[in-house]
Structure 1
Amino acid sequence: MTGRFVPAVLAIALASLVVWSLFPDALRPILEWGANFLPWVNPEATTPVLAILAAVAVLVIACPCALGLATPTALMVGSGIGAERGILIRSGEAIQTFKDVKVIVLDKTGTITRGEPKLTDVITAEGVDESELLQLAASVENASEHPIARAIVDGAGERDVKPGEVSEFRSTGARGVSGKVDEKYVLIGNRRLLEEEGIRGLEALDEAMQELEGKGRTAVIVAADGQAMGIVAVADTLKKESVQAIRGMHDLGLHVVMITGDNERAAHAVADEVGIDEVQAGVLPEGKVDAIRKLQEKHGNHVAMVGDGINDAAALKQANVGIAIGAGADVAIEAADVTLVRGELTAVVDAMLLSKATFGKIVQNLIWASAYNLAAIPIAAAGLLHPMIGVIAMTASSLSVIGNSLLLKRRYAKEKPSGEYS
């Protein structure tokens, strides 16, 4: 806008100089009228003086500074407010994009839940000892860094079951793990993986699996030498603010989607508890990018993604606004446009409200700066403004834009970061 504004002002100033030089007598009545209430207007001045004063007044009164300051001052204040509240915004573009978000995608573990699963259930197949089942599971999972693996190993320790040595450990990503324990080939994972591996005795565990998944627990099957031995299940607790945060998202008119690698039953149990609109379950880490892309095709480029781990980095990058929550993984924070240091889901609502308020200030600043120039330039061209008055008006215009942006800080000083801003 400023790039077009300056040439336009120069053209108007030149036109004022030419018109006043050629038609002074036709324009003097304007000065005679203005002299009645503007003490600096002198209708008796010579034609060259009037022409030069009009041209200089146009150049002085025009304020590209106000237009140029309208956006960056508001963005600077908005970013500063965010930083004070643990909302780190990487760029001004992120603030402006965030306000247009219509769909918000939430990872489950570590975002909606605490990301600290605990072992809750150990169910054995007929003839299998619980300690034996747990020892085999803990032995293999001890070689994995997955949160579910940590929960199983820690849970076994609480039951005085120590993991043994494992060899030939192999991970199939989010589907499961395998390894040799005491010469037994142990496979741990979801039902689909074990079916593909031809594991026997799965049908006997189906009812227990369905019951556990219906309670929102993540259950995996343990098999040894091709035979299903039982189930171990873990559960993660919801963050205390998750329900409030998702309610706040709905109040903003957002469509809330949860993407998780969990099975359908467990995913829907969590979603129903917190009020999620749409669930995409069984999504592997590499499938999250495709899921985001499909949502963008369906809802337009108005999709934000909230995640906390290394598995979310690519999806955060794909989303129109990527939001890393909590400490998370460095790669996720690097990929995100916004980082929520507080680690609370309500901060997503706070961040969106801040983006809307900041953009509102940008609009106010642009309207004021544009209105000022549209009104002041014709008055200056008519010869009714002395250049010294123009200097004062121009400075006041720039200061008013800065002051209006700072009002945003004053408003937020009275509000607590709770996700309930009006």
Structure 2
Amino acid sequence: MKNNNAVQHNNQTASEQTLSPDEGHVLHKVRDPVCGMAILPDRAHSSIRYQDHQLYFCSASCESKFKAHPDRYLTEDASEHSHHHHHDHHEVSPDQIKQPHHQAEKENSEGVWTCPMHPEIRRSGPGSCPVCGMALEPLVATASTGPSDELHDMTRRFWLGLLLAFPVLVLEMGSHLFPDLRNTLPPQYNTWLQLLLASPVVLWCGWPFFARAGMSLRNRSLNMFTLVAMGTGVAWVYSVIATVFPSWFPASFRNMDGLVAVYFEAAAVITVLVLLGQVLELRAREQTSGAITALLNLAPKTARRLDHDGHETDINAEDVLPGDKLRIRPGESIPVDGIVIEGKTTVDESMVTGESMPVTKTKDDPVIGGRLIRQVVLSSVQRKSVMKRCSHELFRWSLMHSVRVPPSREWLTAFQAGLFLW
């Protein structure tokens, strides 16, 4: 049985490959050093050569940003550029040629993080999207995927912010509901206490919003975090000045107590509400990825590989190469996606296809990794690709579509954000 090998390349982190159906050859995609978008060289807006690197840009904006601060963008990916430049020009020994490429592909794919809203954004580690500010997700799920650090961090910031923002809200708005509270604390002390309580909420709990807003301004892609940072930041700065330097304001700004009105409660409450929204969103995405992780856990961790003499060897399922022959017995699960080359069996595919009845599989039929063999010995299965496991594809599909919104809604959101900023 012939092996359906996927197109592979050692430099997958720096360039992706696409098989052109019309021309029948591999087209190498390169990444814009500014925004990280994957583009074809012949479709790039422009390109320049800088320090022995040929760089391509998706737009004039990215090119101008790079020319203004080239060292900043090269420093962020210096090790990555050095790695790929080395692989493009070094000589390969015959022993190295015999080494399988699947290990490099697996490491590169598992180490790539992407944005569900902007899949063209690729990074070598966790962080936030430079376009929309959303937390990045791993491109490839693994069975050992643990709790999200982003969710843990946002949850911690939310609870601390809620603990501090509630007293601020009571200090400012409580007297409107209960007039007797007005006399419990002198107005000047009330304002200073709000300053002490609200500052950690805005500056520490809401710091990720300011960081993402700064990134959006640098990339000229205004988003929700730009609005949040501007609203809470302006309210907090104004209130601090009004508290510390009330004499700077005209008399018309002062109340009967000689104090200037402050908006600490607005800045603190808005920060906490946005944190709550982030926690709910990340928790929903965590549940989605958790379901896919459970699906990955169904696949066995080891496989029984057949050598040329028919002897069986137990190996790690992740070490199965394209073309390897595996033996699977009744009651066992299929370790990887592949093609039946010998034997006949029935397979439970209900978790993937929804088919309630076992599906009969014979020679040349495809099988899905993680499915249970019901009866009859399946003599051998040949793996057909390296990283194209069905469960991985399901994870990528759910990642890209769990938060995807229609183009009309994206346009409306961008228009509203621009209108409010204007």
Q: TM-score range by the shorter chain?
A: under 0.3
What TM-score, normalized to structure 2? 0.26
Considering only CA atoms, is the larger Rg found in Structure 1 or Structure 2?
1
Q: RCO (CA 8 Å, sep 6+): is it higher in 1 or 2?
A: 1
Name the one with the larger helix percent: 1
